[in-house]
């Protein structure tokens, strides 16, 4: 009793305010993970700043009004090691303070991106005193002996210097960000080795020739049934060996070199992340430059937090909460699917900015239970209030309370039409199968004849066995049942409407021409909407005609079959 009284008095006077609130954290709901802020799920409806915008407070002053006009609830903003520690051990957090203060004023949350040792593979953001002292801070080498401007992950001095700066940053945020404007941290940016699959320096060669660390072997043996299939297949090719050098265990191949390099990148990143979390425990994730366009490791940034290396990163960097894709290439759905596996919390920190993001945002919230969505260089728009993405975000804000409750329970789905060649997709929810299609498949608009179609998409939430909410742009849907009786599905009603303070407010009843006389649900291209759909099942008997022999003639008899 006496001691707890002392503790209460001590806490009152000495523990910083921020400890009186819960920090943002990740929480599982059903088969997904949500970001919880102030004890409520929070969806990041965000955008990432271009790389250099946050390096000047004056420049940022011109950007804040744009971000506000776009009604973003979160901005992903870099923190540059070179600017916060221009001289060793002398920290200047004025840019971070400006960012936190202004974001707070505009009611915008921040995800800070730690541009530390690595930014798109390179080490261009390390301070001058690191750049100039290659002896103390060694770099990686290519097979031809060329030194690259990439800090070596094999050198303790490198990670200790990065760690010191990162810890100072996290401590500063803990002490100053009383309103919890900063909600999450990205550690480094698009880590990866280029030109070769791995560092070819002497120290790297020596480690490559030695045994695979037992921590990695233990991890993959323990999690054997849950490994990412690509990795499992790769390990199996060499007989699932549990001991030996990298090439003995995984085979002599460029992908073994990539696994080796990933392990060491991840150990380095773990050092930094773990130390940062121990001073201020925010969720922390990594972003990846993707292994797209058929490139080999080294042609793409090798060994980064890539989907096929998820097990390696997890084994080596348990403090990292999740890995995320930066999607700039074709195949948006495929990249999402690769990262939405094995309980990896799902988030898109970067996507190419453009009108397609309006459809992609619906898709990731519907199909992948995402924590959020954030196109890159968000401030580059010249018409912030009328960006197509803003119209999607407006709907997602309305749906946030509902969707937060429904996520992870297999009652949501998403569709995306970003290729004219695949204009139709089937979705099954409960006893119904929806056939979604691009609006232009109807052929009703003259633009349907154009060579390319604007991207379109939707998210669907099952509200009751026969009731669904469809939100999106540029789609049309028809319905079938999935019952053993093969009943026909009909439309009872479709109402368009909005959610206000979490309450559905119906507006027009959509019937007649608006639902093709009861045949479909449609949200045309260039329109955004939420429609509440009620379906019903009716019985359609199949009739079969038989030719029956009569006394003098044959006659047709129709039989109704109850199949």
- 51 vs 369 by CB, closer to ligand DGJ: 51
Pick the binder of ligand DGJ from 162, 177, 350, 439 (CB under 6 A): 350
Q: How far apart are CA 453 and CA 512, in angstroms?
A: 26
- 280 vs 373 by CB, closer to ligand DGJ: 373
CB 292, min distance to ligand DGJ, A: 12
- 233 vs 380 by CB, closer to ligand DGJ: 380
CB 237, min distance to ligand DGJ, A: 32
Tokens of 450: 């154009």
In the DSSP assignment, the letter for residue 88 is: T
CB 289, min distance to ligand DGJ, A: 6
Q: How many CA atoms lie within 13 A of 238 on its CB side?
A: 18
Tokens of 80: 């540059």
Q: How far apart are CA 354 and CA 358, in angstroms?
A: 8
- 148 vs 212 by CB, closer to ligand DGJ: 148
Pick the binder of ligand DGJ from 177, 190, 257, 333 (CB under 6 A): 190
CB 51, min distance to ligand DGJ, A: 5
Nearest partner of 366 among 423, 410, 332, judged by Cα: 410
CB 502, min distance to ligand DGJ, A: 35
Q: How far apart are CA 75 and CA 97, in angstroms?
A: 15
- 190 vs 258 by CB, closer to ligand DGJ: 190
CB 302, min distance to ligand DGJ, A: 16
User: Token match 């390390």: residue?
Assistant: 126
Q: How far apart are CA 522 and CA 516, in angstroms?
A: 9
Binding mask 437-476 for ligand DGJ (x = CB under 6 A): ----------------------------------------
- 186 vs 400 by CB, closer to ligand DGJ: 186
CB 311, min distance to ligand DGJ, A: 23
- 177 vs 190 by CB, closer to ligand DGJ: 190
Show contacts with ligand DGJ in window 240-279 (CB under 6 A): none
CB 161, min distance to ligand DGJ, A: 22
- 301 vs 366 by CB, closer to ligand DGJ: 301
- 36 vs 63 by CB, closer to ligand DGJ: 63
Binding mask 41-80 for ligand DGJ (x = CB under 6 A): ----------x-----------------------------
* Residue 376 binding ligand DGJ, by CB under 6 A: yes
Query: What Rg value do the Cα atoms of the chain yield, rounded?
Result: 28
Q: How far apart are CA 256 and CA 260, in angstroms?
A: 6
Kindly determine how many residues on this chain lie close enough to bind ligand DGJ according to the rule CB under 6 A. 7
Tokens of 446: 């003259």
Whether 220 and 315 have beta carbons less than 8 Å apart is answered as yes
- 120 vs 404 by CB, closer to ligand DGJ: 120
Q: Is the dihedral of CA 113, 119, 120, 121 positive or negative?
A: negative
- 85 vs 326 by CB, closer to ligand DGJ: 326
Q: How far apart are CA 227 and CA 259, in angstroms?
A: 14
CB 113, min distance to ligand DGJ, A: 8
Three-state SS for 489? strand
Show contacts with ligand DGJ in window 319-348 (CB under 6 A): 326
CB 48, min distance to ligand DGJ, A: 7
CB 352, min distance to ligand DGJ, A: 9
Per DSSP, the residues of 177-243 read: -TT--EEEEEEEES--B-SSSS--SHHHHHHHTSBPPHHHHHHHHHTGGGS-HHHHHHHHHTT---S
CB 351, min distance to ligand DGJ, A: 10
In terms of residues, how long is the chain? 563
Binding mask 192-211 for ligand DGJ (x = CB under 6 A): --------------------
CB 495, min distance to ligand DGJ, A: 42
Tokens of 179: 């309103």
Question: For helices 332-339 and 357-367, what crossing angle results, to 10°?
Answer: 30
Q: How far apart are CA 196 and CA 216, in angstroms?
A: 23
* Residue 189 binding ligand DGJ, by CB under 6 A: yes
Contacts of 139-143 with C-beta under 8 Å, sequence gap 24+, read: 140/193, 140/199, 140/200, 140/201, 140/204, 141/199, 141/200, 141/201, 141/204, 142/195, 142/196, 142/200, 143/196, 143/200
- 51 vs 381 by CB, closer to ligand DGJ: 51
Q: Which distant-in-sequence residues (6+ apart) come within 8 Å of 213 by Cβ?
A: 263
- 85 vs 190 by CB, closer to ligand DGJ: 190
CB 376, min distance to ligand DGJ, A: 5
Three-state SS for 523? strand
Whether 95 and 83 have beta carbons less than 8 Å apart is answered as yes
Show contacts with ligand DGJ in window 99-138 (CB under 6 A): 120
Tokens of 282: 């925010």
Burial class (CB in 10 A: 0-12, 13-18, 19+), 226: exposed
* Residue 379 binding ligand DGJ, by CB under 6 A: no
Q: Which residue minimizes CB distance to ligand DGJ?
A: 190
Whether 71 and 34 have beta carbons less than 8 Å apart is answered as no
Residues pairing with 74 in the sheet? 46, 109
- 77 vs 460 by CB, closer to ligand DGJ: 77
Q: Which parts of this chain interact with ligand DGJ (CB under 6 A)?
A: 51, 120, 189-190, 326, 350, 376
């Amino acid at each position: 009793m006496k001691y707890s009284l002392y503790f209460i008095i001590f806490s009152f006077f000495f523990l910083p305010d921020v400890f009186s609130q819960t920090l943002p954290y990740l929480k599982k709901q059903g088969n997904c993970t949500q970001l919880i802020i102030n004890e409520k799920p929070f969806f990041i409806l965000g955008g990432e700043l271009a790389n250099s915008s946050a390096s000047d407070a004056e420049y940022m002053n011109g950007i804040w009004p744009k971000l506000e006009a776009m009604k973003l609830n979160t901005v992903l903003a870099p923190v540059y090691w070179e600017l916060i520690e221009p001289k060793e051990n002398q920290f200047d957090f004025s840019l971070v303070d400006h960012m936190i203060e202004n974001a707070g004023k505009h009611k915008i949350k921040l995800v800070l991106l730690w541009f530390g040792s690595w930014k798109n593979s390179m080490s261009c953001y390390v301070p001058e005193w690191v750049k100039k002292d290659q002896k103390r801070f060694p770099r990686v080498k290519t097979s031809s002996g060329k030194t690259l401007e990439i800090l070596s992950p094999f050198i303790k001095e490198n990670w200790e210097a990065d760690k010191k700066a990162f810890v100072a940053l996290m401590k500063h945020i803990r002490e100053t960000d009383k309103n919890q404007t900063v909600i999450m941290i990205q550690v480094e940016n698009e880590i990866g080795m280029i030109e070769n699959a791995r560092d070819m320096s002497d120290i790297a060669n020596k480690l490559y020739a030695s045994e695979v660390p037992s921590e990695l072997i233990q991890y993959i043996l323990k999690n054997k049934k849950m490994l990412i299939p690509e990795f499992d297949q790769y390990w199996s090719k060499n007989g699932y060996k549990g001991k030996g050098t990298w090439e003995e265990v995984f085979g002599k191949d460029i992908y073994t070199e990539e696994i080796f390099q990933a392990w060491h990148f991840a150990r380095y990143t773990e050092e930094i992340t773990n130390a940062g979390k121990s001073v201020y425990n925010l969720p922390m994730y990594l972003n990846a430059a993707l292994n797209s366009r058929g490139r080999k490791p080294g042609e793409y940034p090798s060994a980064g937090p890539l989907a096929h290396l998820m097990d390696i990163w997890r084994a080596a960097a348990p403090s990292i909460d999740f890995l995320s894709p930066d999607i700039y290439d074709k195949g948006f759905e495929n990249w999402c699917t690769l990262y939405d596996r094995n309980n990896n919390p799902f988030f898109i920190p970067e996507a190419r900015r453009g009108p397609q993001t309006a459809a992609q945002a619906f898709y990731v919230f519907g199909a992948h239970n995402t924590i959020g969505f954030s196109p890159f260089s968000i401030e580059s728009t010249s018409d912030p209030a009328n960006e197509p993405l803003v119209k999607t975000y407006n709907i997602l804000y309305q749906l946030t309370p509902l969707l937060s409750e429904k996520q992870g329970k297999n009652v949501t789905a998403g569709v995306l039409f970003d290729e004219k060649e695949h204009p139709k997709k089937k979705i099954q929810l409960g006893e119904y199968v929806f056939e979604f299609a691009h609006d232009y498949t109807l052929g009703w608009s003259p633009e349907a004849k154009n060579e390319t179609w604007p991207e379109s998409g939707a998210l669907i939430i099952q509200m009751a066995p026969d009731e669904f909410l469809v939100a999106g742009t540029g789609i049309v849907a028809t319905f079938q049942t999935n019952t053993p009786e093969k009943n026909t599905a009909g439309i009872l009603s479709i109402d368009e409407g909005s959610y206000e303070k979490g309450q559905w407010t119906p507006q027009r009843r959509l019937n007649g021409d608006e639902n093709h006389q009861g045949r479909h649900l449609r949200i045309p291209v260039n329109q955004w909407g939420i429609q509440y759909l009620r379906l019903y099942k009716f019985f359609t008997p199949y009739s079969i005609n038989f030719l029956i022999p009569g006394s003098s003639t044959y006659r047709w008899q129709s039989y109704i079959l109850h199949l």
